[in-house]
Structure 1
Amino acid sequence: MVIMHATSATPPPAPNDALRNDFLLPDLGEGLTEAEVVAWRVAPGDVIAIDQIVVEVESAKSVVELPSPYGGRVVTLHAALGQVVHAGMPLITVVPAEAGSAAAGGIVGGGIAGATDAGRADDRLPDTGLAVNVGSGAVLVGYGTMESTVRLTRPAGGRFGNRGLGTGTDSAEVPAPPPAAGALLLEETRRSPVVSPLVRKLAKNHGFEASQLLGSGTGFLVLKADVDAAIAARAAEPTNGDAPAGPAASVGGMPVASTSGATDLRIPLTGLRKVVAARLSQSRREIPEATIWLDVDATELFVAKDRLAKATGERFSITALIARFVVAGLQQYPILNSSLSADGQEIIQHGGINLGLAAQTRRGLMVPVVHNAHTFTTRELRDAIATLVATSERGDFPPADLTGGTFTLNNYGGFGVDGSAAIINYPEVAMLGIGRIIERPWVVDGALAVRRVVQLSFVFDHRVCDGDVASGFLTYVARCIEEPLLLLGTV
């Protein structure tokens, strides 16, 4: 523990390496090794407390708020907004608050580089004897170990160090603003600073070096906006003989004219889309799946739903009731609640049922999980599903809600389709799909009647079971839908 005191008589010591603490991007779980910085909650010169949220990062699965395990003064932000950082890379550097902000280095990695702030006496903490160089070990929101007790202060220059702008007092110290993004384009002899590897790659994908641009960042740092502007300008003007042949297309959604006069659009697989693509490809590549389906008379399910609402005064969704049947079916056929070992030599039959529900969110396809669904009553399962549905509208599931699934229920009837040969949610071994429920002619007791009919489609890993098990599970769920009160005796 290091305890620092600041007094008006003694100037603060200059920070040294022994007092500097680098907060590294922690392991976000589920094999996720990178995340994009989407929001900074602090700036160089800010005084922060242990476990204070300092940054929001977006992994392939969710947006996570990260608290700092160190307290003190922020001297460096190591990544710019939109920059991708990898696990183990530094996010911020913190020194004891009494050390001042003379060593503040601004944003390293794509924004302000080398900026400094001399700090002021009234920015420093009073002589409280507070230990500010103690790490809590917290890596995710909610994992803190102590209350925040440090008074937050802002540097004189404001959140992003723009001291003197517009005040008329220190304007002479402020350098002239850099040119607008893309104002000056490629020059082969130019060597502008480029920090972000994504910016370099984006430029290289379009046939030029980012360093050949005059950047719009501080110190003429080349930003993504500069590269985008250069791409657009190159597309709008006739190219010379040195231009790369064939149609050019943008990364990130910017259309670029092709040689035929039409436009192509090249969209990179990033973030959640990249993870989904990898999982689906792995599933198709490794799992010998088979699909069976069945049309089911769901009329009595709607009758049961109305009776439950009348008896309890509560509403139960069709999805929640079918989920209840699925859990019961997995208890009857537990081999379907399994996964295969990494070497494919063992079937791991899971003791608990963690029911995933495929959800289309603003961020893309996600499968949030109701953990230990086998322990829930129908009412508890309904409430858990309702919570996931509400969160899916925002798409900001915490990582824990997206891990550990053992079986997936996919209700694609909301998209207006009857059935689908779905892809199994790797590494699970089965998935049940629910199609749209529509009125159809149906034979009841030898006579035609109009009934509400739904198609169930079931896809399973043929390595784990044969058709008799898969058919047994599907017909069990179908029977529960046709005669729901047999199972829903207790809510």
Structure 2
Amino acid sequence: MTRTFTLPDLGEGLTEAEIVAWLVAEGDVVVVDQAVAEVETAKSVVEVPTPYAGVVERLCAGEGETLEVGLPLLEVGEQAEPSGDRAEPSGDQAKPSGGRAEPSGGGAAGSAAAPQDETYREEERAGSGNVLVGYGTRDGVPEGTGPRRRRRPRDPGRLARGAPRPGAAGPGGFRSDDGTRVPMTGFQKAAATAMARSRAEIPEATIWVDVDFTPLTELRASRPDGPGLLAYLARFTTAALAGHPVLNARVDAGRDEIVRLDRVHLGLAVQGARGLVAPAVLGAERMTTAHLDAAIRDLVARAREGRATDEELTAGTFTLNNYGGLGVDGSAPIINHPQVAMLGVGRIIDRPWVVDGSVRPRKIAQVSFVFDHRVCDGVEAAAFLRAVTSAVEDPLSVIERL
């Protein structure tokens, strides 16, 4: 008997998911609750376990395809007997003999697969520099090898969603008269919706100032085992928000109210495995600079690997964007709706700067601030920006007061 496993309801109103990778192939033997596929939703990459045991007869979608909840994911048939003809049971005492048959292609998954999973994921996370290969990617791992094999269906023409389009231009894309079309992932669609909503609803304004980072970089250099620059910026930001709470807020347009929030969940723009995300350090207003440093390093590492929690990805109340790491001086970013403001820092470079009447080389960076003009005017926005930048230019005096 063949049983069809359909894409289950993944919760939180999600109606579709993209097949990132198959963890089994046709002909493999699976057990109940074994992960059979990695799927990407608008929120995260998750493993989907099968409710059936048996032999995988058919994979009903290809990697890179998007399925709606309720459509067939794979078909599981009964497992063949290990050898010969099985005698019919006699009464209630007769039981089948022999163990589970191994599939002809090898690679049967059993209880031993669990400890191998983490090894596989760690291999995938190995990257160069500061960019990690995210969980669920296929780069650098040959398909059909490793503890958890990833092979494409043997017969793509049998896919439930139809055969590949003519003129296919690689995974997920196809050529048409006006160029190559690549379907947006669930994550990309969710991000596009959020950004479009921000532009449509928020009357944003941007201000900026060039800031002398020399004192802060010297402080950082004098404490090589101390907090990083981003941790200091985070601490100065939370301190400035304490003096300007209207910028840590939400706009309730339906009731014409500004809702000031009690906690600062400080979002950080991170280029993760699935794209740009802004996970938040929860309760950042209560943390010291050292505590913020540890929390930021942990959060950024997990976000790059796609392991930030749903709460961290959605709870942000204010975002700090260090786009200087991209090698750019300035930006006017889109506010992360439903937040009302974002602080951005460009690259720190040596520039001639006038200090006490003399021109000297200094470490200068542009700091920009984009805000929702519904919650405050330019005077308060400028005061907030100056509170942060003054702390950068004289960090010791500010740290003593914090």
Q: Give the TM-score normalised by structure 1.
A: 0.60
Q: Which amino acid aligns with 1:460?
A: F
Q: Is this contact kept in 2: 1:250–1:267, CA < 8 A?
A: no
Amino acid at match of 2:269: A
Q: Aligned match of 2:201 in 286, 307, 316?
A: 286
Match status 1:73 vs 2:53: yes
- Structure 1 gap segments, 5+ residues each: 1-13, 91-107, 123-151, 162-214, 233-248
Larger RCO, structure (CA 8 Å, separation 6 or more): 2
Instruction: Confirm or deny that 1:368 pairs with 2:272.
Output: no
Equivalent residue in structure 2 for 1:46, among 30, 35, 53:
30
Instruction: Look up the SS of the partner of 1:231 in the other structure.
Output: coil
What's the offset of the Cα at 1:387? 1.7
Q: Which has the larger radius of gyration?
A: 1
Q: Please name the residue that 2:299 is paired with.
A: 388
Deviations 1:390-421 (A, max 9, x none): 23443443433312111111111122222111
Bigger strand share: 2
* AA matched with 1:73: A
Aligned length: 339
Q: Distance in 1 between matches of 2:15 and 2:267?
A: 23
1:59 maps onto 2:41 in alignment: yes
CA distance in structure 2 between the partners assigned to 1:272 and 1:306 by the alignment: 39
Aligned partners of 1:413 and 1:75: how far apart in 2? 52
How far apart, CA to CA, are the structure 2 residues paired with 1:464 and 1:118?
64
What is the letter of the counterpart of residue 63 of structure 1?
Answer: V
- Inter-partner Cα distance in structure 2 for 1:308 and 1:216: 58
For the residue of structure 2 that corresponds to 1:458, the secondary structure is: strand
CA 343–85 in structure 1, closer or farther in 2 if over 3 Å, else same? farther
| C-alpha contact (below 8 Å) 1:37/1:79 kept by paired residues | no
Written as runs of structure 1 = structure 2, the 5 A alignment for 1:243-254 is 252-254=172-174
Amino acid in the other structure paired with 2:20: V
Residue in 2 that maps onto 1:340: 251
Contact 1:323 1:409 in 2 (8 A): yes
Share of identical aligned residues, percent? 42
User: Structure 2: which amino acid aligns with 1:368?
Assistant: P
Per-residue deviation at 1:253?
3.8
| Alpha-carbon distance in 1 for matches of 2:179, 2:35 | 41
Q: Secondary structure at the match of 1:464?
A: coil
Q: CA offset at residue 57 of structure 1?
A: 1.6
Shift of 1:375: 1.8
Identify if the C-alpha distance between structure 1 residues 251 and 47 changes in structure 2 by more than 3 Å, giving closer, same or farther: closer
- Equivalent residue, structure 2, for 1:116: 77
Which residue matches 1:25? Answer: 9
Tell me, yes or no, if structure 1 residue 417 matches structure 2 residue 332. Answer: no
State the distance in 2 between where 1:467 and 1:438 align. Answer: 28
SS for the counterpart of 1:487 is: helix
Matched, 1:264 2:179: yes
1:439 to 336, 346, 350: 350
Counterpart position of 1:231: 167
Aligned residue type for 2:32 = I
Is 1:277 the equivalent of 2:214? no
Structure 2 residue 339 is matched with structure 1 residue 428: yes
* 1:302 alignment partner in structure 2: 217
Deviations 1:118-148 (A, max 9, x none): 54389xxxxxxxxxxxxxxxxxxxxxxxxxx
